[in-house]
Amino acid sequence: MPKMRISDLIAQKGKRKIVLSCAFDRYIAQAASDAQVDILLTWGAQQPANIAMEAPNCLIGSGIDKKDAYSSPEKAVDAALRLMDLGIDIIYASGMPILHWEALASRKIPCVAHVGYLPVLDTWIGGPRAVGKTVDEALEVYKQVKMLDDFGCIGVEMELVPAQVAKKITNDVKLLTFSMGSGLDCDGQFLFDCDLLGTNTGHIPRHAKKYANLYDEYVCVFKKYRDDVLTGTYPEKDNMIIMPDEVYDEFLSLV
């Protein structure tokens, strides 16, 4: 399946679910691209350009550096344009002032915002928790997404928002809604690669689904390698370069 354009992505609303994950190395990026994941998020100094190269079938999203995202709308726009010059398709940021999104969208920069639980706001909300279980919080999330929709953002990640609230918002806006722990009625689903691959050794969130347990497999492989080294099983003959006996004999005669 060829890579979608932004217009193709937007056209999927109400037709089929969008699949999102993230990638921080070339192998994960290649695998996700071959598996026809729609959107891959990544970030870091050179990471976005590298991932875009390795995942030609995926739309690539990357976040704006905080010092640019939070400073001013003008700096946010400049940072977004620099990322797009690197081959990034979608600008993503968490916790950026909401009016900065208006600046990006007004320049026709494809951007995805973030509402609900935002890790950058941990100190304000008391750590990881659902956001929107009270009427006041649900109304605030609803108003934020409606505003982002009016600005012209193409999408929004809704993290740890009650499923009924996420469904209502999805039905009331034109932009795409991506669920991270916000139920099955959003326009797409977002899971971190470490959660679905089973390489997450820290806190496992409720919404995570482990499709493999690669961490344990990695440990087994390294243990086997260590045992082989300690017992002399590795390297075997096929793993070594062997000089012909006559050449080695000549070498010995000269040293």
Whether 18 and 38 have beta carbons less than 8 Å apart is answered as yes
Which residues, listed in sequence order, are joined to residue 188 by a DSSP beta bridge? 18, 178
Can 159 be counted among the known catalytic residues?
A: yes
Residues 6+ apart with CB under 8 A from 132: 116, 138, 140, 141, 161, 162, 165
**Cβ neighbours of 82 (radius 10 Å):** 13
**CA–CA distance, 96 with 120 (Å, rounded to integer):** 10
Q: Which of 74, 140, 159, 246 is catalytic?
A: 159
Alpha-carbon distance 100 to 113, whole Å?
10
Any idea which residues carry the catalytic annotation?
A: 159
